[in-house]
Amino acid sequence: MPDIPLTTVLVLCLAALAAGWIDAVVGGGGLLLLPALLLGVPHVPAAHILGTNKAVAIVGTGGAAFTYVRKGAPVNVRIAVGIGGAALLGSTIGALFAAGISSDVLRPMIMVVLLAVLAFVMLRPAFGTQAAGPAAGRGRVVAAILLAGLGIGAYDGFFGPGTGTFLVLALTAVLRLDLVSASATAKIVNTCTNLGALVTFAVQGNVMWGLALPLAACNLIGGMTGAHTALKRGSGFVRTVLVVVVLGLVAKLAYDQWVA
């Protein structure tokens, strides 16, 4: 690991704290933490940045998932674990094939999808604000396993930004959950995607553990605090944060594609 000034570590810790809060509420914490790592340690390989980010994120998402479940969030743990198992497989495959996929091709596609999602959410004020309905049927659960598990899990393994947000949107649409339930379920699934990618990066020696540990502690605090906030403020608050995060994610992807 390179010699990193203490002031840089402290700034990165603050970024990890904020990223954990955002990620717990609606996903998208990587939107903040990844650029912070790239700026803070600019002279290390990108794989080390991605691996370190996963080592930090898994602690925050795990803490948020634990908080949601412990506080009695309306989440079907059995379905969440089933989707998470598929996501673990998907993220592992995605991380293995990361080097062969061009992000220059992916970014415009993802921006189009995000803009379409944003338009849908803005035009449907009730989206995700209704109370969670009865348990989803087998067909919807299978669709969630394929889309939110394998599909978004693979995306998280090879690219990553906005995975939590995509999970919240997919789970809300497919399983007809309210946004708080979807956020709680997404944290369980996202913990699995982070685990699959982290193991792959760690085996390849692409994790800066000395930097990851203090950042993970701050991310954990942010994640648990964010889960408390979402449960306390409800789906309306989560929807507002969702719109802000999607706008920020589109702006970040556009900057990476055409400016950076």
The whole-number pLDDT of residue 228 equals 93
pLDDT digits (tens, 9 = 90+) for 228-240: 999 998 878 888 8
In terms of phi and psi (left: phi > 0; alpha: psi -120 to 50; beta: otherwise), the region of 205 is left
Helices (H), the chain: 6-26, 30-40, 46-70, 77-96, 103-123, 138-144, 152-158, 163-175, 179-203, 209-233, 235-258
The residue that leads in pLDDT, 164 or 218, is: 218
* Residue 133 pLDDT greater than 70, yes or no: no
Residue 237's Cβ-side half-sphere holds a number of Cα atoms within 13 Å equal to: 14
Residue 34 is predicted with a pLDDT of 81
Q: How far is CA 167 from the centre of its chain?
A: 8
Given a contact cutoff of 8 angstroms between Cβ atoms, the answer to whether 193 and 61 are in contact is: no
Q: What pLDDT is stored for residue 176 in this prediction?
A: 87
Residue 109's pLDDT is: 67
- pLDDT of 9 higher than 80: yes
DSSP category for residue 75: -
DSSP 42: T
DSSP 153-165: HHHHHHT-TTHHH
Q: Tell me what pLDDT residue 45 has.
A: 83
pTM of the model: 0.80
User: Which position has the token pair 């009865």?
Assistant: 134
Give the residue-averaged pLDDT of 53-81.
91
CB 12 within 8 A of CB 36: yes
pLDDT score for 142 = 93
Name the band, by pLDDT with cuts 50, 70 and 90, for residue 212: very high
Confidence bin at 126 (pLDDT 50/70/90): low
Residue 123: predicted pLDDT:
80
pLDDT tens-digit readout, 180-201: 889 899 999 989 888 988 998 8
Task: Give Cα 156 distance to the centre of its chain.
Answer: 8
Name the 3-class secondary structure at 205.
coil
Residue type, 4: I
- Which region among 75-79, 140-144, 210-214 has the lowest average model confidence (pLDDT)? 75-79
- Give me the pLDDT at residue 11, please: 94
Say what the pLDDT of residue 38 is.
80
| Dihedral class, residue 176 (left if φ above 0, else alpha if ψ from -120 to 50, else beta) | left
B/e letters for 45-66, b = 16+ CB within 10 Å, e = fewer, are eebbbbbbbbbbbbbbbbbbbb
Per-residue pLDDT averaged across 19-43, rounded?
85
- As a whole number, the mean pLDDT across the chain is 85
Measured distance CA(44)–CA(42) in Å, rounded = 6
Q: What is the mean pLDDT of residues 83-106?
A: 77
